[in-house]
Amino acid sequence: MTGAAMGGGALLSRAMTGVSVPAGAQVSVAVLEVASGASAVYGDAAFDTASIVKVDVLAALLLQAQDAGRRLTAAERAYAAKMIENSDNASATALWHTIGRAGGLDTANRRFGLTATSGGEGGLWGLTQTTAADQLRLLQQVFGEDSELSKSSRRYVQGLMESVEADQQWGVSAAADGNCWALKNGWLPRSTTGLWGVNSIGRVTADGTDYLVAVLSKGTESQAKGIALVETAAQAAVSAFAGDCSG
């Protein structure tokens, strides 16, 4: 973490005590107040990314294109838009192969400073393993100026994350004022257990202050319960940094 790393850890932990976590489920949160650089992490477990990895895939693709001194092709841009805005899996698979699958993702992530993320085997990009702290680092690459990504690359990803389709406008956006958010969500039912992993990452603005927020969860009985958990955790995290963790 950069800035006042873990500076709000006690406040975040206190705020998270008010979050009802279903029996057998887990949740982890990382949050950064952009202006001050203060950040905190609650929980250090690893989670399946599900579709939040699509932001990482696009960031890796843009980094590779920058290194090669080229722009994305029309096909790559079409895949990227569908992958982020619509969470289209076929588009993600196409770009997963373009970047070199897990090897390409892991190479880019070393540049991005992600230390606890490993790409899924073969074509299983949704089973990439990550932590909330690493997802916060990725968000700093996408939304911060101290980034391996160029300004134009960052604006491109941000624009897509501000334009996700209506039925996917949930998650960390619950902590934002109105439509002041940019996000990507992920959801995955595990065939072995029937339990869900539900994740949300992005930037939100609340009371005029910008935050980067990553919430990862697993073990809920339904997607709806996972969404409720993620949204409550995001609200608690932002409230902690706003100094309002009494509710």
Full-prediction pTM beyond 0.75?
yes
The predicted structure's pLDDT at residue 241: 85
pLDDT above 60 (res 3):
no
Domain ranges of the chain: 9-241
Whether residue 6 is predicted with pLDDT greater than 70 in this model: the reply is no
Instruction: Map residue 225 onto helix, strand or coil.
Output: helix
Using a pLDDT cut of 90, give the percent of the chain over it. Answer: 92
247 pLDDT tier (thresholds 50, 70, 90): very low
Distance CA 240, CA 127 (A): 31
Give the residue from 245, 203, 241 showing the smallest Cα distance to 36.
Answer: 241
pLDDT at position 246 is 36
* Beta bridge partners of residue 33, listed in sequence order: 211
In this predicted structure, the answer to whether residue 70 has a pLDDT above a threshold of 80 is yes
What single-letter DSSP state applies at residue 34?
T
Determine the Cα–Cα distance for residues 202 and 96; give it in Å rounded to an integer: 21
pLDDT class for 9, splitting at 50, 70, 90?
confident
pLDDT at 144 over 90: yes
172 vs 135: CA distance, rounded Å: 13
Task: Look at residue 208 in the predicted model and tell me its pLDDT.
Answer: 95
pLDDT of 243 reads 61
What's the confidence (pLDDT) of residue 43?
A: 96
Which pLDDT score is estimated for 191? 87
Mean pLDDT of 46-58: 98
List all residues 6 or more positions away from 208 whose beta carbon is below 8 Å from its beta carbon.
none
Q: What is the dihedral of CA 13, 14, 18, 21, to 10 degrees?
A: 20
pLDDT at 104: 98
Q: pLDDT of 27-38, one tens digit each?
A: 999 999 999 999
| Position with higher pLDDT, 243 vs 100 | 100
Kindly tell me if the per-residue pLDDT of 136 is higher than 60.
yes
pLDDT at 59 over 60: yes
Residue 204: pLDDT band (50, 70, 90) is very high
Q: Is 94 helix (H, G, I), strand (E, B) or coil?
A: helix
For domain 9-241, the CATH superfamily is DD-peptidase/beta-lactamase superfamily (3.40.710.10)
Residues 196, 174: Cα–Cα separation, whole Å:
20
Give the per-residue pLDDT at 222: 97
d(CA 3, CA 199): 25
User: Average of pLDDT values for 99-113?
Assistant: 98
